[in-house]
Amino acid sequence: KAVMEKILWRRSLHLRDQQHAWQSSLEGREMLEFRKNLPAYKEKDALLTTISQNQVIIISGETGCGKTTQVPQFILESEIESLRGAVCSIICTQPRRISAMSVSERVASERGEKLGESVGYKVRLEGMKGRDTHLLFCTTGILLRRLLVDRNLKGVTHVIVDEIHERGMNEDFLLIVLKDLLPRRPELRLILMSATLDAELFSSYFGGAQIIYIPGFTHPVKTHFLEDILEMTGYRLTPYNQIDDYGPEKTWKMSKQAPRKRKTQIASTVQDALMAADFNEYSLQTRESLSCWNPDCLGFNLIEFLLVSICESEMPGAILVFMTGWDDISSLKEKLQSHPLLGDPTRVMLLACHGSMASSEQRLIFTEPDKGVRKVVLATNIAETSITINDVVFVLDCGKAKETSYDALNNTPCLLPSWISKVSAQQRRGRAGRVQPGECYHLYPRSVFDSFFEYQLPEILRTPLQSLCLQIKSLKLGSISEFLSRALQSPELLAVQNAIEYLKIIGAFDESENLTVLGRYLTMLPMEPKLGKMLIIGSIFNCLDPILSIVAGFSVRDPFLTPLEKKDAAEAAKSQFSRDHSDHLAIIRAYEGWKEAERNFGGYDFCWKNFLSVQSMKAIDSLRKEFFSLLRDTGLVDEHSNTYNAWSLDERLIRAVICCGLYPGVCSIVHNEKSFSLKTMEDGQVLLYSNSVNARESRIPYPWIVFNEKIKVNSIFLRDSTAISDSMLLLFGGSISKGDQEGHLKMLGGFLEFFMKPDVAETYQKLRTELEELIQM
Ligand code: ADP
Ligand code: MG
């Protein structure tokens, strides 16, 4: 022990010497000058004193004031200074992997080091961390995983939870766990950091924890809404109050005044889009799908128009464009690159900033462009608070956001774009006023802004809780409802009960809410339980490839595009891929068709002809690989055998596996003279979403339909469905037993008989052994 202490002492001395050497070097002094100008630096002493005297503190400050890069660094420096360098261990969580990576790199360089020395990072499947790493940036999911094996966070001295104002599910979840941990680890320090918001809420959650505000400063920002922007194009947008059937904020009328040539084009497409979309939830979808087919779509066109007029103006400064996701960003970037001004790299530096960009691209965002070159950054809401681009003067805000990450332990990978909150819109606007007075263009009418919620609802209150429940059980945190009742804002009891009930029905929980074998496997897969279950069953029954395509296909934006003006042609194209009453099989065929065409360099043409999104196809391709490696890691498939695709061509089998995943999402088909109707047990009559292949049929030669989800608009609509037979439902609907081995085997036996495989006996035996092994794990 004495030897160990001596070693640690020596290391601590070494760390301090290193730190001193850097601080007195020329570069080190320059860096310190930069840091001293950040508002956070002025609070350094107050911060450190408060941290030493309190177990929990909350730091709130304007984006860009230096919370993320400075606070963890202050702690590290002061620990090193007081010769505790070798024994301190600081963990700082970030909601996104990209911020964990870029921030750690920045902090390492501010310390004159390479990544992986005293500063490192860890995100899923990647990391840079050495023996001497004492400050680790990681995603929230990584810390949750660590808690799985190390409940007391042994050896950790400081936990910093960043960006808590975002109120992601993982962060809210982590806070409950940490709150429980604090009494067991009295010397552990917990620091919560947030943009200027809600600090009191967090403070009272931790029994009145101390709050430190870092004062910030922003220049005034001139604000324009859609009506102001359209006026620049020679058109005017006025509310169309008379038609009250549609509600006041949804209806708009364009009144022409002095149309001009180029501008006419823009405004008339704006008009079409507004009319078609009513500017409700639908508008973005319209805009997105139009974007691939018709370059004159609303959003992209307006953005291009604004970019050009800013670039042609005299006022210098970078432009930041807020978009919904990387697919949107890449289509816009492609479009802008062919523009004579915006696509000219000697005049415009066009960059993207989103969760899945490469780190070389990341670094470019912080570089200053050459003189006379204008920087334009197309970003997701990642640039709202996580990443600060220094020289922004103009902001364009599309008003919507979505999460596209699927790396977090517990994320539902596919979220649709939805309107942001007022606070987010203000935050976006504020990005324009960091260096000088700026301008912000919101691409939506003022009344739409007025209808935004003040704050975004925390994720825990607006998303299904199934994955969260699984995670609570895998962390052995006791009763789910009791645990969740201690959240910052608890979800409704009913939502919790629904989730638990669902997990019991699909066989992930047994009757007393314990994880079954299936449940345990589901906790290892990051997608929704129904898709996870489909993957597991698909690998057990050796038809993995098609199931991978389905699961990947539903984890990206709908690959089937339906541009408004070519709706019929698009729907007919989709039906081509499925003459057999299944949207799921249509995805498989579309993907396989694309893949084949891609091999002959015809991928793009194929998509164009068949109304498919190229971006979605590429995304499916890479997700398939990622999901495959996850399955390999869980031991469900053996990479070196090729049996996992032995039955991949058996369509009936695939249909049955789909049913197994989607149950209890099932409704019965009632045929009448000319058509059919659908009924579920709990809702009565339901309808099919118009883009389902089944919606175009007048007869379906099956008695049942399984579906991905129900959506309530005026009536209840089913999204993405597959028709199935009685025996499929009987054998594979319902839990594959609630965790008991016998049930598994019974299903297996029935299954094999049903499919009358010629090699039944042999396969049965083989599967039986596999399954028994699986159950014993
Ligand atoms: P906060 O967390 O309070 O929003 P940060 O600590 O992220 O602020 O950033 C503080 C300052 O450091 C910002 O002004 C930003 O411009 C600068 N900065 C952050 N990351 C980088 C980077 N990778 N390269 C250059 N400057 C950066
Ligand atoms: Mg930050």
- DSSP string covering 636-681, please? SS-TT--GGGTTTT-HHHHHHHHHHHHTT-EEEEEE-SS-EEEEET
> Given this model, what pLDDT does residue 767 score?
60
Task: Look at residue 290 and tell me whether its pLDDT is greater than 60.
Answer: no
Task: Look at residue 508 and tell me whether its pLDDT is greater than 80.
Answer: yes
Asked if 260 contacts 305 with a C-beta cutoff of 8 angstroms, the reply is no
Ligand 1 centroid to 387 CA: how many Å? 7
- Sheet architecture: strand order including 221-224: 221-224, 438-442, 392-397, 318-322, 374-379, 348-353
Task: Look at residue 65 and tell me whether its pLDDT is greater than 70.
Answer: yes
**Residue of 58, 59, 69 to test ligand 1 pocket, by largest number of atoms within 8 Å of CB:** 69
Strand partners for 394: 319, 439
Query: Whole-model pTM?
Result: 0.78
Asked if 195 contacts 63 with a C-beta cutoff of 8 angstroms, the reply is yes
Between these two residues, 658 and 579, which has the higher pLDDT value?
658
- Lowest-confidence segment of 46-55, 138-147, 353-362 by average pLDDT: 353-362
Ligand with an atom nearest the CA of residue 388? 1
Task: Look at residue 83 and tell me whether its pLDDT is greater than 50.
Answer: yes
Ligand with an atom nearest the CA of residue 94? 2
Task: Look at residue 360 and tell me whether its pLDDT is greater than 90.
Answer: no
Give the highest mean pLDDT range of 269-283, 394-408, 486-500.
486-500
Ligand 2 centroid to 160 CA: how many Å? 11
> Given this model, what pLDDT does residue 764 score?
59
> Given this model, what pLDDT does residue 408 score?
29
pLDDT-derived band at 711, boundaries 50, 70, 90: confident
Protein residue whose Cα sits closest to atom 23 of ligand 1: 106
Protein residue whose Cα sits closest to atom 18 of ligand 1: 388
Ligand with an atom nearest the CA of residue 60? 1
> Given this model, what pLDDT does residue 460 score?
84
Q: Does the CB atom of residue 216 touch ligand 1 within 6 A?
A: no
pLDDT-derived band at 740, boundaries 50, 70, 90: very low
**Residue of 191, 388, 391 to test ligand 1 pocket, by largest number of atoms within 8 Å of CB:** 388
**In 356-430, which ranges are continuous DSSP H helix?**
359-366, 382-385, 422-430
- Lowest-confidence segment of 294-298, 304-308, 666-670 by average pLDDT: 294-298
The pLDDT of 695-718, averaged and rounded, is 84
- The angle subtended at Cα 61 by Cα 463 and Cα 211, nearest 5°, is 85
> Given this model, what pLDDT does residue 566 score?
74
> Given this model, what pLDDT does residue 197 score?
67
Half-sphere exposure of 373 (CA within 13 A, CB side): 16
> Given this model, what pLDDT does residue 683 score?
77
Question: From residue 74, how far is each of 40, 43, 69, 628, 741 by CA, in Å?
Answer: 10, 10, 9, 42, 55
Phi-psi region of 151 (alpha: psi -120 to 50; beta: other; left: phi over 0): alpha
> Given this model, what pLDDT does residue 407 score?
30
Ligand with an atom nearest the CA of residue 163? 2
> Given this model, what pLDDT does residue 405 score?
35
Distance separating alpha carbons of residues 520 and 508, to the nearest angstrom:
8
Ligand 1 centroid to 70 CA: how many Å? 9
Handedness of CA 604, 609, 611, 617 (dihedral sign): negative
Q: Does the CB atom of residue 66 touch ligand 1 within 6 A?
A: yes
pLDDT-derived band at 387, boundaries 50, 70, 90: confident
Ligand 2 centroid to 123 CA: how many Å? 17
Number of H helices, E strands in the chain: 33, 23
Distance separating alpha carbons of residues 287 and 449, to the nearest angstrom:
18
102: closest CA among 490, 519, 386?
386
pLDDT-derived band at 330, boundaries 50, 70, 90: confident
> Given this model, what pLDDT does residue 19 score?
96
Protein residue whose Cα sits closest to atom 22 of ligand 1: 106
Task: Look at residue 247 and tell me whether its pLDDT is greater than 70.
Answer: no
For residue range 419-473, list pLDDT tens digits in order: 788 989 999 999 999 889 999 999 888 877 888 888 877 888 877 789 899 989 9
Question: From residue 521, how far is each of 478, 642, 656, 741 by CA, in Å?
Answer: 19, 22, 20, 15
Task: Look at residue 255 and tell me whether its pLDDT is greater than 80.
Answer: no
For residue range 645-669, list pLDDT tens digits in order: 988 888 988 999 999 999 888 888 8
> Given this model, what pLDDT does residue 498 score?
87
pLDDT-derived band at 753, boundaries 50, 70, 90: low
For residue range 606-641, list pLDDT tens digits in order: 998 898 888 789 889 988 998 999 899 888 888 888
Q: Does the CB atom of residue 70 touch ligand 1 within 6 A?
A: yes
The pLDDT of 377-385, averaged and rounded, is 89
> Given this model, what pLDDT does residue 588 score?
95
- The angle subtended at Cα 321 by Cα 612 and Cα 247, nearest 5°, is 75
Protein residue whose Cα sits closest to atom 13 of ligand 1: 64
Ligand 2 centroid to 345 CA: how many Å? 30
- The angle subtended at Cα 406 by Cα 385 and Cα 177, nearest 5°, is 75
Q: Does the CB atom of residue 270 touch ligand 1 within 6 A?
A: no
For residue range 158-208, list pLDDT tens digits in order: 999 999 988 888 899 999 999 999 999 999 999 999 886 678 899 999 999
> Given this model, what pLDDT does residue 355 score?
75
- The angle subtended at Cα 344 by Cα 343 and Cα 348, nearest 5°, is 85
Q: Does the CB atom of residue 165 touch ligand 1 within 6 A?
A: no
> Given this model, what pLDDT does residue 739 score?
44
Ligand 2 centroid to 12 CA: how many Å? 28
Strand partners for 676: 671
> Given this model, what pLDDT does residue 726 score?
78
Q: Does the CB atom of residue 72 touch ligand 1 within 6 A?
A: no
The pLDDT of 42-57, averaged and rounded, is 96
The pLDDT of 130-141, averaged and rounded, is 94
Q: Does the CB atom of residue 65 touch ligand 1 within 6 A?
A: yes
Task: Report the nearest atom of ligand 1 relative to the CA of 61.
Answer: 3
pLDDT-derived band at 745, boundaries 50, 70, 90: low
Distance separating alpha carbons of residues 228 and 261, to the nearest angstrom:
19
Phi/psi at 397 (5° precision) = -125, 115
Between these two residues, 126 and 472, which has the higher pLDDT value?
472
